[in-house]
Amino acid sequence: MAAALSMTCGICQAQLRSVEDAQEHAELTGHTDFAESIEPVLNLVCRTCGKPCRTKTECDLHTKRTGHEMFDDKTNETAKPISLTAKAEDGTSEVQGMSSASEDVELVDPEVNKQMLQELEDMGFPQARAVRALYFSGSSSVEAAINWVVEHENDPDIDEIPQVPATQDILQHNYTPEEAKAKMLELRERARKKKEEEEKRMEKEREKERIRIGKELLEAKRIEEENERKRLILLRKAEKEEEQRARDKIRQKLEEDKAERRRKLGLPPEETPKVQSSPPTVEVKKSFLPVRPASKAEQMRECLRGLKQNHKDEDARVKKAFQTLLTYVGNIARSPDEEKFRKIRISNPTFQERVGSLKGGIQFLEICGFQKDSDDFLILPRDKVDVSVLSSAGSELNSAIVNPYFGVL
């Protein structure tokens, strides 16, 4: 005959690992009908936190509370034959004392906790189902009774009030008021300690997760800053190369004008030393940095550069347009609540002469946030005023005014 691997309660069908567990179950519930079983108690261990679960329902509840879904079945590893020789203090076999009940006894309805019964009925459970759940769960808590209903909802007798031997019902409720109160306090204290331990363990897991996420965010920020630094280095290098090409072009133009004047005066061409050509431009390797959209400052710079190149023979007019745009931007930055600074009539002759008639002038204002309306006005709404954008616009305009090589190429 195969060795017993567990004890099964004949009343609530709970599986217990040892005689000691059966004794504790009997003390908590009053159930005294136990039998040997060759079926081991389930041992499903959560892969994430290591919590053991004895039933599929416990696994489901654990998943709902924590989100952990992966479990390892270690039932066969922990299963071992149980000893049935545990003795009570009086020397009698404890298992024999719990093994069976007489068949010729009076059957009565079980007594359950009235307050818990009322709570279950208020939740919508039928009375018979609520009584059955409280009795078989030992009336330990409403939650335990609900869990029992979930596990046995497909039982054919789920809505029948169980009948128990009168002697068993008396034994189950033979505590004095003081003993019952002490027992309840003991159970509550045990549940409170277990809950505190679970909360501490979960808090440690949450703290580990917070630390991990924090490290990932810091690393992502570092990579982003490094990419931005490399992008700025490449941008500054390109600007320097552009300035160098502008200087070379101006120098060449001066040499050509000088040679033309000597020719008109009938002078022989001047022997000029060979101008050392500028070193070849080193091709910049393509960066594998992520492509980013042009910033507002870059859009403004390109707009101003285009404006100057479109009117390269009108330096004084272009400079006046830059100064006028700088005045508009400065007035709004200093007094953003003044509506007169945020509203420009497009058909105004002065505006047209200085800015509107130049290709790129109105586009620059639109980059700063101005919008055209149906009444021939450019308007910058108060909620669209961005001080950082206006500051960038002022910097770009000032650079375009003071840099003699700006937009030459």
Segment 136-180, tens digit of pLDDT: 887 778 888 888 888 888 888 888 888 766 544 444 555 566 766
Residue 230 lies in a domain: no
Residue 288 lies in a domain: no
Cβ atoms of 140 and 25 closer than 8 Å: no
Residue 11 lies in a domain: no
Read off the pLDDT band of 223 (50, 70, 90): very high
Residue 359 lies in a domain: yes
* Average pLDDT across the chain, whole number: 79
Looking at the 3D structure of the chain, how many domains does it have?
Answer: 1
Read off the pLDDT band of 102 (50, 70, 90): very low
Residue 319 lies in a domain: yes
Burial 72-111 (b: 16+ CB within 10 A, else e): eeebeeebeebebeeeeeeeeebbeebeeeeeeeeeeebb
Range of the domain at 335: 296-409
Residue 369 has pLDDT above 80, yes or no: yes
Give the range among 91-100, 136-145, 351-360, 372-381 with minimum mean pLDDT: 91-100
Residue 327 lies in a domain: yes
Residue 171 lies in a domain: no
Residue 392 lies in a domain: yes
Which range has highest mean pLDDT (171-175, 255-259, 405-409)? 255-259
Cβ atoms of 78 and 43 closer than 8 Å: yes
User: In this structure, what CATH number is given to the domain that contains residue 364?
Assistant: 1.20.58.2190
Read off the pLDDT band of 100 (50, 70, 90): very low
Residue 226 has pLDDT above 70, yes or no: yes
